[in-house]
């Protein structure tokens, strides 16, 4: 389901397995958000810097990377994965990355969405969501 998102600041958090490719992540992002405004950031786990750089470059966005220890401390995630926890030491990379990149006032506006070998979530500061 695509949503119209009005906001001041937006962050797209991504999580992915080593089998994900840039196109997998971009397809998921495009299915999750109908318009990516300038100033939006892509955020992910520092161990996924390579795919994060590829996605950010393809979309013309800035990349923000976080170590797992920071992502594990982020509150407000709505989806927890035992697999993600065992592989990365954080229960949700996409949601935690999106929230972490905008700070403590950020809120999820698109909870974790699953794609082929990847996940994404969208967080915002000042926002309104319209179906």
pLDDT digit string (tens) for 13-53? 999 999 999 999 999 999 999 889 889 999 999 999 999 99
Q: What value, to the nearest 5°, has the Cα angle with vertex 99 and ends 104 and 41? A: 120
Question: Residue 8: pLDDT band by 50, 70, 90 thresholds?
Answer: low
Q: Where are the domains of the chain?
A: 30-126
Pick from 128, 130, 120: which is nearest to 99 by CA? Answer: 120
Instruction: Name the CATH architecture for the domain at 30-126.
Output: 2-Layer Sandwich (3.30)
Q: Which residue, chain included where needed, has tokens 């080593």?
A: 18
Does the structure show a pLDDT above 80 at 130?
no
pLDDT in the model for residue 2: 45
Q: What is the pTM of this model?
A: 0.85
């Amino acid at each position: 389901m695509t949503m119209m998102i009005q906001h001041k600041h937006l962050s797209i958090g991504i999580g992915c397995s080593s089998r994900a490719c840039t196109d997998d992540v971009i397809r998921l992002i495009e299915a999750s958000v109908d318009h990516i405004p300038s100033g939006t950031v892509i955020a992910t786990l520092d161990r996924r810097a390579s795919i994060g750089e590829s996605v950010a470059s393809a979309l013309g966005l800035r990349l923000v990377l976080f170590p797992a220890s920071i992502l594990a401390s982020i509150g407000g995630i709505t989806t927890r994965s035992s697999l993600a926890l065992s592989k990365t030491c954080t229960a949700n990379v996409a949601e935690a990355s999106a929230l972490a990149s905008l700070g403590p006032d950020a809120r999820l506006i698109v909870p974790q969405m699953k794609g082929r070998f990847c996940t994404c979530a969208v967080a915002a500061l000042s926002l309104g969501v319209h179906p």
